[in-house]
Chains A and B, each alone.
Chain A
Amino acid sequence: EAGVAQSPRYKIIEKRQSVAFWCNPISGHATLYWYQQILGQGPKLLIQFQNNGVVDDSQLPKDRFSAERLKGVDSTLKIQPAKLEDSAVYLCASSLDGVYDYEQYFGPGTRLTVT
């Protein structure tokens, strides 16, 4: 079984530029999560999708961050414009469903450096 795929693995941009991250969850997984992990901290949930609908985006900075999950499969997370404090690892995870199956499978992450 293929795992959660993410790209790119690394990205360096200057502040005020835009960036996009891509995630392909495990086949058949209805729930997809995006987390932000700042160095020295645990992952923080940014947004949770159930199929292509948003379940929770309460911690997503909506003035600069956006995410979509078209057709309930792949997802893209965008930052526009980026700030220095956005430097972090962005993790994507998926689970079979977000209610009865609680195990989340994580991708390797995208390390973003904003200079």
Chain B
Amino acid sequence: AQSVTQPDIHITVSEGASLELRCNYSYGATPYLFWYVQSPGQGLQLLLKYFSGDTLVQGIKGFEAEFKRSQSSFNLRKPSVHWSDAAEYFCAVGSSGGYQKVTFGTGTKLQVIP
């Protein structure tokens, strides 16, 4: 069965500092990987996705993520965090082949301090 681990429940960074959110997945084949962001009271918005090809993926709002097969990781990064980035971030893995089933991690809540 596929699964996702986000080891950091809560992260605090200063505005302007760099950010890295960790994500490890478990899946038997080449996974489809996603990062979503959820602001308070809102639904989830897709930041970026990896299906194949270049392992460094660019997303919206200045985010990027790198797929590392050897480490089963898909960490999310941003070079300079803005106060508006405060939200909860979810990593997800999708099954390949047939109807896709997406499994979400438990999320990392990001706090940005001035």
* Chain A residues near B (Cβ < 8 Å): 4, 31, 40-45, 48, 50, 55-56, 91, 93, 98-99, 102-109
Contacts and interface: CB of A to CB of B under 8 A. Distances in A.
Nearest to B42: A108
Given A91-B43, A102-B32, A42 B107 contact: yes
Contacts, number: 58
Nearest to B90: A42
A108 B101 CA distance: 21
Interface string B100-114: 111111110000000
Contact of A56 (B4, B42, B99, B105): B99
Interface of B: 4, 32, 34, 36, 41-46, 49, 51, 90, 92, 94, 98-107
Contacts of A93: 43-44
Contact of A108 (B34, B43, B90): B43
Q: Which 6 A-B pairs have the closest CB atoms?
A: A42-B104, A106-B43, A106-B44, A98-B99, A55-B99, A108-B43
A99 B94 CA distance: 11
B99 A99 contact: yes
A45 B42 CA distance: 18
Given A91-B44, A108-B42, A48 B99 contact: yes
Given A4-B43, A91-B43, A108-B42, A102 B100 contact: yes
Contacts of B43: 4, 91, 93, 106-109
